[in-house]
A and B are shown apart, each in its own frame.
Chain A
């Protein structure tokens, strides 16, 4: 058994050793073994950069501006001279038409002739009874026209002629004044000549010169005096204004104060009250004295009574009866009470006097207060009144000064005028004597002015006549206008008095006439167009569509071809979601993908709401300019907003999504005794922006190692190994 036990222990030991060795080997190589099965991931750190969110759409190119060539009149196409894609110039022939009049023209002509015939017949059949009235109207209008024509020939209205006459009259008056002034100066010269006739010419000249200088000095001093007086006047006026303001303020203060303190008045019997008060004081003093005397006397009497009573009591020898004792006791008590009563009475009188005095004091104090206040009010009123009086006297003085200054100013002005007149006379005399002016020259001047005046008088007379004529014509025109109006009214009256059918017929005829005129114009137009046998291009561009072939009969107004105006470029429209459209702005440049050759210039020109989507999408229109572009072409556009910088950008392959939202997996490393283990850990993120290759996210630190790709599907918590 021991051998068995030993054997058993031996193989158990071996098994245990093998078991532990296996586990040990597996443990040491576990990492290596495990890595074979682990998914290999590639990871990178997030980067910062710029992301430009782009929107890729495909749209069809359309013509921005297309011109439709229409045919006027139903015609037959003889030949088509252009093809789709041809570039045409203005005036280039596009189609050849058969040279016949259009059916419309023929039909229209027939219709016109029949309508004209009907109109003429209706005119002939119309019964017009208003010829006299119409003739009267016509004659009146003719007369009116004649009068207006004659009136127009006058060359102006009566008001215009009157204004001109007034101007000429004022000129005549002015000329008269000048003539009078010259006459006066001539007289002055004559007087000067008379005045200095006894003196020689040199003496006369010297005297005149002296007189002139003297007059000039007087003028200068008069001007200075006037200036000074004006300054004094101004300052006196300013002082008067200030005094006026002060007076008004003082008066207002006085009025306000007296209004606010009207209740306070001095007591009437202040002195009497005071005398009464003194009497009361005296009464109190007397009462006090009487009380003190009465109290002292009462005390003495009481003491005496007690002494007497004591003597009486001591003197009792036992023979007195109780009645006697009681009577004596009662008599003593009565006496003491009488003394006490006397004292009380005196005290009452004193108290009463004191009370009366107190009351009198209170009343007096109140009246003293009122008296003081009223005295205060009085003194304040007196003060304010004093201010008013002084302001009033200041105002009076200022007014007087201002009047005197004004008077001095006026005298200075008068003196100045006199000095000016004297100067003028002296100057005239001087000029006359110095030879600067002669009486003959003055006469010649006067003659010239009189001739001028005569001419002006004639002009004025002529204008007066014109005014009269114009007024006549105006009145005649007015009366003739009234006559025309009267004739018209007569016609209307007659017409309205007639039956309604006349009016209706008139209206019909007018309508028929208008329709005939329109048909005539239409016929003219059709005739013009029917002459032409070609259709030319009204605009330069590229033919995009042709809607007919040779031999087709094309109706009036049908479009036969479309011309694309190349200058306006191409457009393309497509729909974007509201969120995408919010990233696009009008004017943004748009890229074109999968384009070979010169890249066209594409911009966003319009973004409008799509009514059919209820605000969820918008229509975006692009303008396209470039070469090798044609209508109907499909282009892939890339609209992108401006790049924005982001701190955390990862490749798009790193972004994953499940029912809980978007997330990324990061590599989480953990040291173990057998080496570093890497585990994928989930981090929920928010996408800020994305483009074709990378995405900006938030919710991730920049030092996290983000798993971008893996060889096998991985999930949160799964062990991974890093790519070599």
Chain B
């Protein structure tokens, strides 16, 4: 290679390195920014109550009652002075209320997720397979409903729950969750991409609609089912308004409600609870990551 070419090549390489570094720094900074809350939650959950009172006492003025040290400024510390599991002990050993609230969350979310997918699959299959004017109208209304924020439908949900006498019970959350239009929309959009030739081929093979649905459609939609499951899980794992409004009894509240109502004396415990609260969605995501990517990125190609 000639000298000029070498020098050109060196320049290009240097520029590439510099650009790459800059990009990395920017992205790294952004990544750090996004990770910071999680990192703070985990590290603060390992701090003792005294250290938390010292760091955050200014925010929660009644935290200490003038009996412990409170620093002049709020300090966001990533590294605890002393690693202490006292908050975890308090949250999950000394006070089993948080465990019960965790299971409340599980009891609410799992049925919603499972039954929503089941019903959404059936509904989506109908929307995808059968064509009519009525179907368009209903599907359109599904879209409209899906676009509405939950706060809009909260009051009608409350009233309807009163009619059915399921207010202050878990069914007031589970039933509306099961019949949510979001999963229907996603699954219907995906199922429409399945070529009709597949259905025809199955029919020629002697399959009925149920067999087509269960043996052909559902396996093809596995990816998107996982995607929907994850999205539904995350959505309902973090719900706060519905339990606050529809569940009067604190004992039925999920852990998300507790985390939304942190007061002064619970700051340390809240970090520990939040750290544990992150684990199920994380596990769900890790388990279903491939399916999620597959489902999101699926472009409609069918094997064979």
Contact = CB atoms under 8 A, between A and B. Distances in A.
Contacts of B286: 8-9, 12
Given A5-B290, A672-B251, A15 B96 contact: no
A301 B280 CA distance: 141
Nearest to A671: B251
A5 B100 CA distance: 33
B287 A37 contact: no
Contact of B100 (A8, A37, A674, A719): A674
A27 B93 contact: no
Contacts of B280: 16, 19
A674 B279 CA distance: 24
Contacts of A674: 96, 100
B287 A30 contact: no
B92 interface: yes
Given A12-B286, A15-B283, A37-B94, A30 B99 contact: yes
B173 to A, nearest CB: 18
A306 to B, nearest CB: 105
Interface in A179-206: none
B287 A16 contact: yes
Contact of B102 (A13, A23, A719): A23
A278 B283 CA distance: 140
Interface string A18-35: 010001001100110110
Interface string B80-97: 000000000000111110
Contacts of A34: 93-96
Contacts of A30: 92-93, 96, 99-100
A625 to B, nearest CB: 58
A34 to B, nearest CB: 6
A12 B285 CA distance: 9
Interface string A23-67: 100110011011001000000000000000000000000000000
B179 interface: no
Contacts of B102: 23, 27
B156 to A, nearest CB: 31
A344 to B, nearest CB: 101
B96 A31 contact: yes
Contacts of B95: 34, 719
A19 B283 contact: yes
Contacts of B93: 26, 30, 33-34, 37
A19 B280 CA distance: 9
B213 interface: no
Nearest to B286: A12
**Chain B interface extent, by class:** 10 to 19
A27 B287 contact: no
A27 B290 contact: no
Contacts of A16: 280, 283-284, 287
B115 interface: no
Nearest to B104: A673
B103 interface: yes
Contacts of B251: 672
B94 A27 contact: no
B283 A26 contact: no
B283 A672 contact: no
A19 B279 contact: yes
**Chain A interface extent, by class:** 20 to 34
B152 to A, nearest CB: 34
Contacts, number: 52
A71 to B, nearest CB: 72
Contacts of B290: 5, 9
A23 B280 CA distance: 11
B287 A9 contact: yes
Contact of A26 (B92, B287, B289): B92
B99 A673 contact: no
Contacts of B100: 27, 30, 672-674
A152 B94 CA distance: 124
A694 B289 CA distance: 68
B94 A26 contact: no
A27 B96 CA distance: 7
A12 B251 CA distance: 30
A41 to B, nearest CB: 17
B113 to A, nearest CB: 14
A385 B2 CA distance: 178
Interface string B264-301: 00000000000000011001101101100000000000
Given A5-B290, A30-B93, A23 B99 contact: yes
A692 to B, nearest CB: 34
A30 B94 CA distance: 8
Contacts of B287: 9, 12-13, 16
Contacts of A26: 92-93, 96, 99
Interface string B10-28: 0000000000000000000
Nearest to B279: A19
Nearest to A10: B287
Interface in A710-724: 719
Contacts of A23: 92, 99, 102-103
A486 B177 CA distance: 143
Nearest to B99: A27
A378 to B, nearest CB: 101
Nearest to A31: B96
A5 B93 CA distance: 35
Contacts of A13: 287
A34 B102 CA distance: 17
Contacts of A719: 95
A687 to B, nearest CB: 27
Contacts of A12: 283, 286-287
Nearest to B251: A672
A26 B100 CA distance: 10
A212 to B, nearest CB: 133
A15 B287 CA distance: 10
Contacts of A9: 286-287, 290
A11 to B, nearest CB: 9
A676 B32 CA distance: 46
Nearest to A674: B96
B269 to A, nearest CB: 14
Interface of A: 5, 8-9, 12-13, 15-16, 19, 23, 26-27, 30-31, 33-34, 37, 672-674, 719
Given A19-B279, A26-B96, A27-B103, 10 more contacts: A8-B289, A12-B283, A15-B283, A23-B99, A26-B99, A27-B96, A27-B100, A30-B100, A33-B94, A34-B95
Interface of B: 92-96, 99-100, 102-103, 251, 279-280, 283-284, 286-287, 289-290
30 contacts: A5-B290, A8-B286, A8-B289, A9-B286, A12-B283, A12-B286, A12-B287, A16-B283, A16-B284, A16-B287, A19-B279, A19-B280, A26-B92, A26-B99, A27-B96, A27-B100, A27-B102, A30-B93, A30-B99, A31-B96, A33-B94, A33-B96, A34-B94, A34-B96, A37-B93, A672-B251, A673-B100, A674-B96, A674-B100, A719-B95
